[in-house]
Amino acid sequence: MKEFDVVVIGAGAAGLMCGATAGYRGKSVAILDMGKKAGRKILISGGGRCNFTNENTKPENYLCRNPHFVKSCLSRYTQFDFIDLVDRHGLAFHHKTLGQLFCDNSAQDIVDILMTECEWAGVEVTLRTEVLKVSKNEDGYYLNTSNGDYQCQSLVVASGGLTMPKLGATPIGYQIAEQFNLAVLPTTAALVPFTLHDHDKQRFDGLSGMSIDCLVSSENEQSFRENILFTHRGLSGPAILQISSYWQAGQAVSINLLPDLTLSELIASWRQNSPKKSLKNCLSEILPKRFIEILINEQAIPDKAVNQLTHTEIKQIHDYFHNWMIKPNGTEGYRTAEVTLGGVDTDELSSKTFEAKKAKGLYFIGEVTEVTGWLGGYNFQYAWSSGVACGLAV
């Protein structure tokens, strides 16, 4: 049996950060992961370039039953602290839109930085080791793994969520929480594309690959201004992924297809300047033509010259484009989702240390907790911040 001060389950973003932080404090640390490589989700993130943080990270960018929970860790280890770390390692990176930071070369650079930090901190990272069972005895926590048994004073669960089962996602973190009587909030896929009902799929067949800059809103009035993308299964694109975290089965989403314009005013100007021009041709100047043709063909909007439109029709057309309602059939689920909504209830954890209030020496960090960030580097920032807070406490 191997003995350590700290055992971390999961060599992902949160686990590696926590392990290195604890190692630098002189703790003996083992990080166990069932994968062949460390940081497998980091490697596939951000299209292979890892959107590793967001310069504008704020607590408001997270969904959590207790919105105050993330404040402490995000303020103790900020996005700028992580930027300092990657700067010290000479990482080449660039800014994209909305404060998102990406590696210039490859997400492998981020994994290399974390593995180097672990090495410098004397942390043992052991791969191909699946944690099968955890128990508690008078000496601390005892782990049965596919690669021998471990004993530790502090057990950190950084086993992630349920997304991408191909990459080794397991429910072990939730099972450990339940074993120690901690509440686990129901889990669902988030930051995930929507699937559409068959009739909508048929309507938009042929639009696959087309994207439109929109303002998308959920029924609880959360809005995101980014692109939507038609796919052969339904709708995706950053605005859709963002709103999926706020969507519940059976609800509709409202899509403002012309967020920078007031269509009724635009129609008035068309009526004045080019009265005989068809509505279809006018609209095709501001939205993709194939999309407008579908709406005309299904008579969602009239096939008329703009000077023939009645005032009632103008109001209906205005409302249609500024509040285009779509009722998704569902989501693509954990297979393609970026994150898991729900997880270990943060009411059960200290927001300073991430230790379970009911189980001394047991900690939960990263995605296994019910904290879910927006798209745009926020999820990794929470992994870094929760990892450091916990690493300083174990």
Residues that bind ligand FAD (CB under 6 A): 9-15, 32-35, 40-41, 44-46, 50-51, 130-131, 158-160, 163-164, 168, 170, 172, 338-339, 366-367, 377-380, 383
Q: Which is nearer to ligand FAD, 35 or 99 (CB)?
A: 35
* Least distance CB 244 / ligand FAD (angstroms): 13
Residue closer to ligand FAD by CB (options 217, 231) is 231
Question: How many C-beta neighbours within 10 Å does residue 229 have?
Answer: 20
Instruction: Determine contact, residues 365/332, Cβ cutoff 8 Å.
Output: no
Closer by beta carbon to ligand FAD, 317 or else 383: 383
| Residue 177 Cβ vs ligand FAD, minimum distance, rounded to whole Å | 13
C-beta separation of 52 from 110 below 8 A: yes
Helix locations, 165-204, DSSP H = 172-179, 198-203
In whole angstroms, the minimum distance from the beta carbon of 79 to ligand FAD comes to 11
- CA distances, 189 to each of 235, 248, 320 (Å): 15, 11, 30
- The number of CA neighbours under 13 Å toward the Cβ of 54 is 23
State which residue has the least CB distance to ligand FAD: 12
In sequence order, the 6+-apart residues with CB closer than 8 A to the CB of 34 are: 127, 128, 129, 130, 131, 146, 168, 170
Select 217 or 386, whichever has its Cβ closest to ligand FAD: 386
* Residue 181 CA neighbour count, 13 Å, CB half: 4
Rounded least distance, CB 260 to ligand FAD, Å = 27
Rounded to the nearest whole angstrom, what is the least distance from the CB of residue 196 to ligand FAD in the complex? 22
Helices (H) and strands (E) in the chain, counts: 13, 21
| Cα–Cα nearest to 366, from 1, 7, 8 | 8
CA separation for the pair 65, 184 (Å, rounded): 12
**Which DSSP letter does residue 198 get?**
H
- Of 241 and 326, the one with the shorter C-beta distance to ligand FAD is 241
Residue placing its CB nearer to ligand FAD in the complex, 135 or 312: 135
Rounded to the nearest whole angstrom, what is the least distance from the CB of residue 365 to ligand FAD in the complex? 7
CB of 74 to ligand FAD, least distance (A): 13
Nearer residue to ligand FAD within complex by CB, 18 or 295:
18
Closer to ligand FAD at the Cβ: 266 or 383? 383
Q: Which residues of 105-114 are buried (b: 16+ CB within 10 A; e: fewer)?
A: eebebbbebb
Supply the minimum distance, in Å, between the C-beta of residue 381 and ligand FAD: 7
Residues 6+ apart with CB under 8 A from 296: 279, 280, 303
